[in-house]
Structure 1
């Protein structure tokens, strides 16, 4: 057990449609984010997570994603180790999200 759970793109889409409150964090590099994000995501590059984790709400569910799910799994494991209880990793990352035909938005702050 890594202290976090996996979520599929379909499950994430359902959470959004149900209006569930959660934080969506993109841990990719700025160059990757410039190509588009999942709408509503906050950009927090993986290497900055240790310095910024205390700004996140430990009581709110957090979904991490990257390009394919590897770096976001590291982020999720780190958050779980810091005491976050509701941590999710988007299985397959934004690649899986896009392959399902779900929308990619331009970044808020390119």
Structure 2
């Protein structure tokens, strides 16, 4: 019996060690695997680098900004595979090590990063093409209307923003009188500075052109409603 228990302990220890070991794939294998359902693709470069082109449907958090990284990574599912990359592999390797040590069951790195991806002739999404920013004048006009307006400062590549999508959808279904103004957290830099929004997501409510409430981060529907209707209990 003692030998059996010892064997089980050794086997479990070995499994745990294997789970912590580095897993990496070349561009061809990486591309094939991220097409499977349930895969989370994670870009740990800066927002500026991300906007020069990224892998399909990739979420983003800057690994060099520790607080931002830790805030966003908590919205990934630890039980689902995470396929991670950066420019050349250094940052993603460090980020993957941290994630494995903090409970992520399956983190796979892109060997050589996005540089290797490009060299293999693989396609990128979202290549910056001189998109026109939302101007401050346009923003002020949009939120200056009578009635309630909700400004949603977010981005498709932001994990907590993705977490908020179904909550926002339900909110607007239930409150059709509230107008939505979208500010792109990766593009509309001037507006973000003007409204003092530095984190994603940020939600700002206006009533008849006057700000009545704001909050950064993920909220439940009831909290979002209370923010928009301050008298709501």
Tell me the TM-score normalised to structure 2 length.
0.44
| Gapped regions of structure 1 (runs ≥ 5) | none
Higher relative contact order (CA 8 A, sep 6+): 1
1:13 to 18, 28, 31: 31
Q: For residue 53 of structure 1, report the CA deviation from its aligned partner.
A: 2.4
Q: What root-mean-square deviation, in Å, do the aligned CA atoms of Structure 1 and Structure 2 show?
A: 1.8
Q: Tell me the CA shift for residue 4 of structure 1.
A: 3.3
Alignment gaps of 5+ in structure 2: 1-16, 128-155, 157-185, 188-233
8 Å CA contact retained: 2:34, 2:83: no
Structure showing greater Rg: 2
2:117 alignment counterpart: 97
From 26, 31, 38, the counterpart of 2:55: 38
Identify the residue that residue 75 of structure 2 maps to in structure 1. 55
Deviations 1:32-69 (A, max 9, x none): 11211111101111122222322110110001100011
- Could you tell me whether the CA contact under 8 Å between 2:42 and 2:82 is conserved in 1? yes
- 2:61 touches 2:73 (CA, 8 Å); kept in 1? no
Q: Secondary structure at the match of 2:74?
A: helix
